[in-house]
């Protein structure tokens, strides 16, 4: 084969080699696409990573918020028993104060009743001694009416006994009720045994004391028996009444 026939093949081979070495347009585009795809893939991966980090942050924030809510609920639950105990403590203190007040009132009332009982404990014996004193006074009055010289010494002895008895009564705070003629009638310490008209005194005035009364402290042992005045019938009224009788 001649040299001329071999040259075209060699030229073709050389051309193909040059094209392959320079690279075809399609190969360049493929390579550019591959690079661009890698870049896009990298950006997508980076976006996914960022999105994962954001989701993780949101999850962490949600867990923190949930933890705070749980902590608040625990504090509320813990506070409720404390409030209940505080209320129970206050109620117990109130009951204690009321009990102490009632106990103090009971003690004061008991002490007052005891003092009153001790104060008037002698009332029965005073009531029994008063008739004895009345009899001594009658004996003195009767002896003073006699003119027997022998009764003079007896009268002095009775008067001494009567004075001692009155002194004992006074030492124990038993004293006479003042009921003299002309005093106003007092139903708290007087007992009216009779009524008598009087032109000298207004109605309701004591004009005579039949029996002396006594009182122990401020309590009456025996009221005084007295005679009390009533409204007197005037002369004009009597004349009017007599005139009416004659006319009739």
| Domain locations along the chain | 1-108, 120-172, 176-248
Tally: H helices and E strands in the chain:
5, 6
| Radius of gyration for the alpha carbons in the chain, expressed in angstroms and rounded | 66
From the list 136, 226, 214, the residue with the least C-alpha distance to 180 is: 226
**Which residue in the block uniquely carries the two structure tokens 């608040």?**
72
CATH superfamily of domain region 176-248: Head domain of nucleotide exchange factor GrpE (2.30.22.10)
φ/ψ of residue 184, rounded to 5: -75, 140
| Interacting residues of 176 by C-beta distance below 8 A, sequence separation 6+ | 212, 213, 214
Residue 167 has what pLDDT? 92
Q: pTM to 2 decimals?
A: 0.53
| 206-211 sheet: strands from edge to edge | 190-197, 224-230, 206-211
Q: Where are the beta strands (DSSP E) in 80-213?
A: 174-176, 190-197, 206-211
Instruction: State residue 200's pLDDT score.
Output: 85
- Which residues of the chain are under the pLDDT cut of 70? 1-80, 233-248
* β-strand pairing of 206-211 with 224-230: antiparallel
* Composition of the chain by helix, strand, coil, percent to 5: 70, 15, 15
Q: Could you report the per-residue pLDDT of 198-213, keeping only the tens digit for each?
A: 888 888 899 999 899 9
Digit-coded pLDDT (tens) for 159-170: 999 999 999 999
Return the DSSP state at 200. Answer: S
Cα–Cα distance measured from residue 163 to residue 32, given in angstroms and rounded to the nearest whole number: 152
> How much is the pLDDT for 190?
92
């Amino acid at each position: 084969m001649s040299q001329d026939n071999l040259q075209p093949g060699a030229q073709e081979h050389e051309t193909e080699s040059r094209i392959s070495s320079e690279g075809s347009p399609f190969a360049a585009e493929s390579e550019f696409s591959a690079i661009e795809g890698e870049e896009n893939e990298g950006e997508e991966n980076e976006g996914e990573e960022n999105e994962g980090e954001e989701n993780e942050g949101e999850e962490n924030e949600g867990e923190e918020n949930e933890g705070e809510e749980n902590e608040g609920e625990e504090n509320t639950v813990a506070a409720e028993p404390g409030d209940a105990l505080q209320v129970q403590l206050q109620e117990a203190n109130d009951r204690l104060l009321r009990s102490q007040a009632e106990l103090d009132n009971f003690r004061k009332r008991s002490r007052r009743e005891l003092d009153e009982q001790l104060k008037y404990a002698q009332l029965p014996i005073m009531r029994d001694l008063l008739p004895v004193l009345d009899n001594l006074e009658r004996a003195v009055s009767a002896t003073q009416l006699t003119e027997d010289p022998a009764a003079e010494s007896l009268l002095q002895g009775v008067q001494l006994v009567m004075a001692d008895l009155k002194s004992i009564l006074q030492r124990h705070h038993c004293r006479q009720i003042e009921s003299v003629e002309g005093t106003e009638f007092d139903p708290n310490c007087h007992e009216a045994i009779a009524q008598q008209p009087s032109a000298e005194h207004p109605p309701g005035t004591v004009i005579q004391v039949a029996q002396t009364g006594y009182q122990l402290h401020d309590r009456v042992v025996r009221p005084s028996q007295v005679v009390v005045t009533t409204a007197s019938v005037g002369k004009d009224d009597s004349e009017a009444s007599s005139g009416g009788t004659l006319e009739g």
